[in-house]
Amino acid sequence: MSAPEDAGSSDKTIVTEMPTDMMPAQPTDAPAVASTTDASPTAAPATVETAAVAPATAEWSALSSEMRTDQGPAAASAPSSDTRTDPPAKEGLDSKRMSLLEHLGELRSRLRNAGIAFVVAMIGSFVLVERYFDWLTRPVRTGMRAALPKEAGDNLSFYAKSLTEPFWVYMKLAIVGGLILAGPFVVWELWRFVAPGLYRKERRLTMLIIGSTVGCFAAGSVFAYLVLCEPAAYFLTKLLTNFQGDAHFHLSPMIMMDEVANFQMMTLAGCGLAFELPVVLSILGWIGLISSRGMLKFNRYAIVLAVVLGGVLTPSTDPFTQCLLAAPIFLLYNISILVVWLIERARRRRDEALDRGEPLPSG
């Protein structure tokens, strides 16, 4: 039977064209397939639509399966975007977040507690200011007695140029004493405000910096009180000697109460700041602004800068006091070189571990 007779048989088959991008290539000599129009007008649209959608749906399902297979089992089993929920950790973080007004309220309460502690400590210190003044001026009095003749040393006196000078000196000492006594509590209150916003590594680094700063400042103040103040007072008082000769005369010291208190407090504070050199250089080395190799090359000039720094930070202008402070500053500079070298070595080891693909310690 010929082909035209088969095409005109009673069992008519409707053939629809697939989209050109999804249709397999056909040979050029294949005869064109024509669809018949003899089908029922009511059934033809539904049949044509079903026949056209079914191959496309199957093709897209196959492509989606292949894409999931290429991305791995995790992508294949991933839930759809409609059923995805936020992780519990994010919900916990959201519940702990504070608004700007809440942060300001927290800061206000911390500053209020710190202020109350300072006022209470200052009032308590004002009761003991006479003992503070006696303790503060003891190295000066010891050095002056050793430099003056015996009669003048036994009758050593400090003077007040006005009636209000003792009050303001005692008030100054009470404020400094209040800061020292309430300092740990003030730092604790500020730490409770800042610490929740820091990571564990940042908290440890901040505590290390705070502890090093306080420790170095205290060490410098103790060094000034025990080592520096008495020799400085002796050297300066020794200049007030009897001038022998035909017209001999005598220089008698008339030291004011405010002057000796300021001298002592400035000397203690200056030495405390000078002893902060290792902390400052260590931070600069940790940031990467300086290196141990460069500091070692600069060591020949460090002694000159130590003398200059000693002259700036000490209230007295005599070279003896400057040299007493320059020696520990130069020693602290060399200690800082060692600290910066240790920081660089730790950084190199961490970089080498990263290059080898080793996991870094947590924290």
Determine the Cα–Cα distance for residues 166 and 261; give it in Å rounded to an integer: 11
Is residue 87 situated within a structural domain? no
* Residue 315 pLDDT exceeds 80: no
Is residue 84 situated within a structural domain? no
Is residue 248 situated within a structural domain? yes
137 shares its domain with 186: yes
229 shares its domain with 307: no
Distinct helix (H) and strand (E) counts, the chain: 16, 2
pLDDT at 64: 54
* Residue 51 pLDDT exceeds 70: no
Let me know: does 17 contact 48? Beta carbons within 8 Å. no
Q: Which of 250, 271, 292 is the last residue of a domain?
A: 271
CA distances from 124 to 117, 120, 183 (A): 11, 6, 14
- Grouping H, G, I as helix, E, B as strand and the rest as coil, residue 249 is strand
Let me know: does 331 contact 273? Beta carbons within 8 Å. no
pLDDT at 242: 63
Looking at per-residue pLDDT, the higher value among 177 and 5 belongs to: 177
Whether pTM exceeds 0.75: no
pLDDT at 255: 86
* Residue 211 pLDDT exceeds 50: yes
Name the residue with tokens 């996991």: 359
192 shares its domain with 261: yes
Is residue 80 situated within a structural domain? no
Structure confidence at residue 350 as a pLDDT band (50, 70, 90) = confident
- Which residues form the domain of 326? 276-363
Q: Which of 271, 302, 334 is the last residue of a domain?
A: 271
249 shares its domain with 213: yes
131 shares its domain with 233: yes
262 shares its domain with 127: yes
pLDDT at 106: 87
267 shares its domain with 344: no
249 shares its domain with 331: no
Taking the mean position of all CA atoms in its chain, how far away is CA 53? 63
Let me know: does 50 contact 16? Beta carbons within 8 Å. no
Determine the Cα–Cα distance for residues 87 and 151; give it in Å rounded to an integer: 84
* Residue 330 pLDDT exceeds 70: yes
Is residue 92 situated within a structural domain? no
Q: Which of 271, 286, 305 is the last residue of a domain?
A: 271
The pLDDT of 115-129, averaged and rounded, is 93
Is residue 164 situated within a structural domain? yes
139 shares its domain with 255: yes
Is residue 208 situated within a structural domain? yes
Is residue 85 situated within a structural domain? no
Percent share of the chain, pLDDT over 70: 68
Look at the chain and report how many structural domains it folds into: 3
239 shares its domain with 167: yes
* Residue 132 pLDDT exceeds 90: yes
174 shares its domain with 255: yes
Query: In the chain, what is the greatest distance between 2 CA atoms, to the nearest angstrom?
Result: 159
Interval 140-155: pLDDT, tens: 999 888 887 777 667 7
Looking at per-residue pLDDT, the higher value among 248 and 70 belongs to: 248
- Considering 39-53, 85-99, 167-181, the range whose residues carry the highest mean pLDDT is 167-181
327 shares its domain with 242: no
